[in-house]
Chains A and B, each alone.
Chain A
């Protein structure tokens, strides 16, 4: 149990375009979802926390208008990178948790902006 999926697993987009990444909890209801960013050989950096039906809470230094997060249901959260630039290229990982339980991580999405 406790499976989190992400789609796509890998995406290439052109500079200036937007790209959406989906995060789904497959067998539980995720009251809270988290989005992380990870550069090569570095740790996971929390970008934002979202609760179903509420606006996301962004960490200091993360641009809200650039990284749009929507947590529309208890099983789905989306991260949209708007007007992507090469410096946005990274590994994006979501996690999800049900109240009182662990955080479970998705497999990650590799974004490359050309």
Chain B
């Protein structure tokens, strides 16, 4: 019940495409869902995060869609660029608790020039 399932494992898109990464969770106590971007040999960097009281959030080229009833959320990257090639992780946590994150398995994105 503590798992966060992420798909796909890897993704290749052309420059300008809109890659979509999906995550699903079981624990309904989760109330904070961040997305992280990680480059090889670096720590993860926060991209965008959402709470379950909204269905969509946009920040720049990044959009999170959230479906509370389905217990699913997804990341969309608009107008993707080669510099977006990285590994993306979704996570879930209980904000009122220890705030520890349960990470998804990661998606390796490659954007072709």
Contacts and interface: CB of A to CB of B under 8 A. Distances in A.
Interface residues of B, number: 20
SS of B interface (majority): loop
Contacts of A110: 41
Interface of B: 34, 36, 41-46, 49, 89, 98-106, 108
Contacts of B102: 46
A44 B98 contact: no
Contacts, number: 50
B43 to A, nearest CB: 4
A4 B103 CA distance: 19
Given A103-B99, A106-B43, A108-B43, 19 more contacts: A32-B98, A32-B99, A41-B106, A42-B105, A43-B103, A43-B106, A44-B44, A44-B89, A46-B100, A46-B102, A49-B100, A57-B98, A93-B43, A97-B99, A102-B34, A105-B36, A105-B43, A105-B44, A110-B41
